[in-house]
Structure 1
Amino acid sequence: MDFKNLIVFLQDLNKNNNKEWMDAHRKWYHSVRDEFIDWLDVLNGHLLQEYDNYYNTPGRKGINRINNNLLYHPNRPIYKDHFGAGLDKRPNTGDFYIEIGIEESMFAGGLWRPEPKKLSSLRDAIDYNGEELEAILTKPTFKNTFGGLVKDVRLTRPPKGFSEHHPHIHLLKHKTFAVMTKFSNEELFKPNFNEKVFDVYREMLPFRNYLNQAISV
């Protein structure tokens, strides 16, 4: 994967974020996009072979559209400043997300502000077996990789039905259960970058499994 070409494309697109520029450079866009899809296919094939419960997600199925959703976010530019994709993308679960951006990139996974039914299921799981999630989040290698849960909206009071004195109240107040790790794009250009992808996937997997099992019950 020629990540340098991908970054240059995104830089130029960011300076000329309009349909006219995209139409004039659509051949370049399709070339970069197709190569990104091929790279995703390589990752997908490796993970499919390595993990029994991995959900087969070919690159064309995992890649996100480069167009922003202007219906809900009319003030955003027409096009995104990154290529994004989800792997291990089982329907109605949290996937393994990869984003390659102009200045930095990231891996992420989990559930971002899940709907009330899923959030309730997550809280029930934490109430029943929060020790397992605590052990995942406090594992030294996990903390070194992700730091902790993404900082997002949290309740100021306990959710309905739970006491302020619950042993896992700090987790129960969360409305987003996701982790991420950002990295410099210099990492993209290293020959062993795919190994970094697999290492992060492996470290995140118990966290994602916990969440996905909770919302599938």
Structure 2
Amino acid sequence: MIKKETLDFLKELAQNNNRDWFIANKARHDQARENVIEFAAAVIKEVAKTDRDINTDVDPKKCVLRIYRDVRFSPDKTPYKKNFGITIPRQHPNGSRGSEYYIQIEPGNSFIAGGYWMPEGNHLKAIRQEIDYNAQELKDIVDAPEFAELFGNFRDQEKLKTNPRDYAADNENIELLKLKSFVAWRKLTDSEVQKKDIVAKTVSLCSHIYPLNVFLNNAIV
């Protein structure tokens, strides 16, 4: 589970996002990060029992993103993130990017997500082609009552304002084809992430995202 001390550290960091405060509280950061690494390790171990494309040999430390922000091209120059992010990548041919699971730990803004966020051009084209050829499989996943109850309307995410190239406006699946990302996500409360069953709950949510990840991964193979 995520400790109260981890959330407290992140709350205070959000209010004191500067180098002097962070250096003075570096030990607290290290303890909080270790808590998140332990949580990530437990989730990876259990998710891999359902999703055979998860590499169980992956170092959970490498799955927890660094808290330092890249401010080179951002107008926001605060040096630290207000959260710990966990990526659980799935193995893909040639080591290419693809579908994955993502968990964010942030006071008031924790969530779990999966799918493929903002695919690169050739992957986006391949996914749209798969939707055009095999839309019913995707609709059976994202329109299933339990999936919709857990993650909301899959179509309600960023999409093109116009029709994608090579697809007509009267295509029966045009709203799916307009999507720029293919993500399912669910918010987690501070209370939920601190409970002992949070690993089991996270793994359960991942198991419901798993068919979506398989569909997307098959599209880009």
2:67 pairs with 1:66: yes
Q: Does 1:108 align with 2:113?
A: yes
Distance 1:180 1:76 in 2: 28
What is the rounded CA distance, in whole Å, between the counterparts of 1:42 and 1:211 in structure 2?
Answer: 25
Does 1:33 pair with 2:22?
Answer: no
Whole-Å separation in 2 of the counterparts to 1:196 and 1:204: 13
Q: Structure 2: how far apart are the matches of 1:73 and 1:150?
A: 29
Alignment check: 8 A CA contact 1:150 1:179 kept: no
Q: 2:13 maps to what in 1?
A: 13
Distance 1:88 1:116 in 2: 19
Going from structure 1 to structure 2, the CA distance change for 1:52 and 1:12 (only over 3 Å counts) comes to: same
The aligned counterpart of 2:88 is 87
For the aligned residue pairs, the C-alpha RMSD in angstroms reads: 1.7
Cα pair 2:116 2:181 within 8 Å, conserved: yes
Q: List per-residue Cα deviations over 1:127-186 (Å, max 9, x = no partner).
A: 110110011110011001100227443223321111111121110111111121112111
Q: 1-side partners of 2:59 and 2:50: how far apart? A: 15
- Does residue 195 of structure 1 match 2:196? no
Contact kept? 1:44, 1:58, Cα under 8 Å: no
Measure, in 2, the Cα distance between the counterparts of 1:210 and 1:121.
Answer: 11
Name the aligned partner's letter for residue 116 of structure 1: G
- Summarize the Cα distance change of 1:127–1:71 in structure 2 as closer, same or farther, 3 Å threshold: same
The verdict on how the C-alpha distance between 1:76 and 1:215 changes in structure 2, with shifts beyond 3 A counting, is farther
The 3-state SS of whatever aligns with 1:158 is coil
- Inter-partner Cα distance in structure 2 for 1:131 and 1:205: 17
Q: Is the 8 A contact 2:114 2:206 kept in 1?
A: no
Q: TM-score, normalised by structure 2?
A: 0.91
Q: Distance in 2 between matches of 1:24 and 1:190?
A: 29
Work out which structure has the larger RCO, using CA pairs closer than 8 Å and 6 or more positions apart in sequence.
2
| Cα distance in 2 for residues equivalent to 1:152 and 1:68 | 25
Unaligned 5+ residue runs, structure 1?
Answer: none
Instruction: Report the Cα offset of residue 27 of structure 1.
Output: 1.3
Q: Percent identity?
A: 28
The amino acid that maps onto 1:175 is K
Aligned to 1:42: 42
Separation in structure 2 between the aligned mates of residue 163 and residue 184 of structure 1, nearest angstrom: 41
- Aligned equivalents of 1:144, 1:45: Cα separation in 2: 26
List gaps (5 residues or longer) in structure 2: none
Decide whether the 8 Å contact of 1:150 with 1:180 is kept in 2: no
1:154 to 156, 159, 162: 159
Say if 2:125 is the partner of 1:124: no
Question: For 1:21 and 1:78, how far apart are their aligned partners in 2?
Answer: 11
Tell me the amino acid that sits aligned with residue 142 of structure 1: F
1:177 pairs, out of 172, 179, 182, with: 182
Quote the Cα distance in structure 1 between the aligned partners of 2:77 and 2:154.
27
Question: What's the CA shift for 1:66?
Answer: 0.7
